[in-house]
Amino acid sequence: MNKNLPSLLILFLFFVLSILAMLLIYQQARRFFLSRFSQDKTKKERGEGGLLVNTFQGVIHELKQKERVLEQTKEEAQAYAKTMENYNQNILRSVTSGVITFNCDGNVTTVNPAAEAILGFKREAVLGKSCEGAFGANNSFSPFVQETLDQKKEVLREESEGVRSDGQKVWLGLTTSALRNQKGIIIGAIIVFTDLTEMKVLQDQVDLKKRLALLGEMSAFIAHEFRNYMGTIWGFASMISKELKTNAGAQAMTAGIIRELATMEQLIADLLSYGKKPVLTLQQTAIVPLIEEAMANFGAVLFNTEFEACEAAVDPVLLRQALLNLIQNGLEAMESKNNHGKKITITAHYLGNRFVEIKISDTGRGIPSDQIDKIFFPFFTTKEKGNGLGLALVHKIILSHNGTISVESKEHQGTTFTITLPAQRP
């Protein structure tokens, strides 16, 4: 037996044990490092997961903040829009000009209070309707609104005659333009208008006063010259009458000449009165007693009256003369030969706070429609023996008081004269 065998065996066992020890150490080291790596990985994963959760929560929080900001902005925008709408409505309610808007189909979308007052329409009655449906087939708005919608063309300051809902005519100064939204897109048309009726009446009165003043001066000159010639004729007629006292035929002829000269003298007196500029003695006067004084001159006439106690600064003498002429004119328009049974209606009352209105109506033959605009012209008359100065004098007296006089008449039904005088309620 080999003597080195135990030593080799021991060496081999040592070698095996060393390998086993190294394997054991390796296994332990491996478990250790695997355990540490697993812990580090778990911690890392846990850290990354927490970061992700925190980030997500931060995003949610920021989104909620932005949502609150957006909601606040939305509320502010709505409040601003409502404020602007109220502001625009306040502007529309406050302006004295009429404002009406139309959509692209020509239907009414907005009517402000001034438009209601000028035209006499209620906004509820016209909203959503076409121009013709809202204001009538011959209304003054349609051509301008249609031109604006079709041609996108503005109509600047045109004058047009309109009709209120009660049938009364009004003069309107109007402007139309295209209605655009914030992006500049045309969404309809807008028309702005003012009531020029009173201004038109005043302008007509001024023009008429100028014409009447010129005509008055001419009439006074003619009347003065005629009176000189008539004085000569009158003198010769009187001398002839004295020379031919015994000639009955000659006396009758000279009497006729003198009678016609007296009629001409009255006409000349009226002409001179018309040509003379009225000198007013204004005083605060109760109107009803003045009317009653004029009525007292026509005892047999039936008067239907409706009076309100009212006062105005007038010349009592001249206004009484005007009232007498109007009553006499009404009586002459009724066909019976005397005043018995003739009926005149007279009313007097305040018209708002600025005017006194007097109406005198008869039931006579009326005035033809083609003549009604001429009745206040001097020398125009529809009567066989009229001189055409009675109503002209009335017109001049009323105009001198800064008043107006108008007439409404229907043939075979009667005539109504309406006087308005400046006044202030006491």
With respect to CATH, is domain 95-195 assigned 3.30.450.20? yes
Q: Report the alpha-carbon distance of residue 388 to residue 378 in Å, rounded.
A: 6
Residue 94 has pLDDT above 70, yes or no: no
Q: What is the pLDDT of residue 358?
A: 94
The domain ranges of the chain are 38-93, 95-195, 201-275, 283-422
Q: What is the pLDDT of residue 30?
A: 66
Q: Of the ranges 1-10, 86-95, 110-119, 261-270, which is most confident?
A: 110-119
Q: What is the pLDDT of residue 203?
A: 74
> Does residue 136 contact residue 146 with C-beta atoms inside 8 Å?
no
Mean pLDDT of 340-366: 86
List the CATH code of the domain at 283-422: 3.30.565.10
- Number of Cβ within 10 Å of residue 223's Cβ equals 20
Q: What is the pLDDT of residue 326?
A: 92
Quick one: DSSP state of residue 389? Answer: -
What are the DSSP calls for 153-174, one per residue? --EEEEEEEEE-TTS-EEEEEE
Residue 302 has pLDDT above 60, yes or no: yes
Q: Residue 412 is which amino acid? A: H
Q: What is the pLDDT of residue 35?
A: 65
Quick one: DSSP state of residue 337? Answer: S
Q: Which carries the bigger pLDDT value, residue 139 or residue 193?
A: 193
Mean pLDDT of 317-323: 91
Q: What is the pLDDT of residue 2?
A: 47
Q: How confident is the model at residue 1 (pLDDT cuts 50, 70, 90)?
A: very low
Q: Report the alpha-carbon distance of residue 362 to residue 333 in Å, rounded.
A: 8
Residue 28 has pLDDT above 80, yes or no: no
Q: Of the ranges 199-203, 220-224, 321-325, which is most confident?
A: 321-325
Q: Compute the mean pLDDT over every residue in the chain, rounded to the nearest whole number.
A: 77
Instruction: Tell me the residue length of the chain.
Output: 426
Q: Which carries the bigger pLDDT value, residue 238 or residue 284?
A: 284
Q: How confident is the model at residue 112 (pLDDT cuts 50, 70, 90)?
A: confident
Percentage of the residues of the chain whose pLDDT score is greater than 70 = 69
Q: How confident is the model at residue 43 (pLDDT cuts 50, 70, 90)?
A: low
Which run of H or of E encompasses 195?
strand 186-195
Crossing angle of the two packed helices 197-243 and 248-275, in degrees rounded to 10: 150
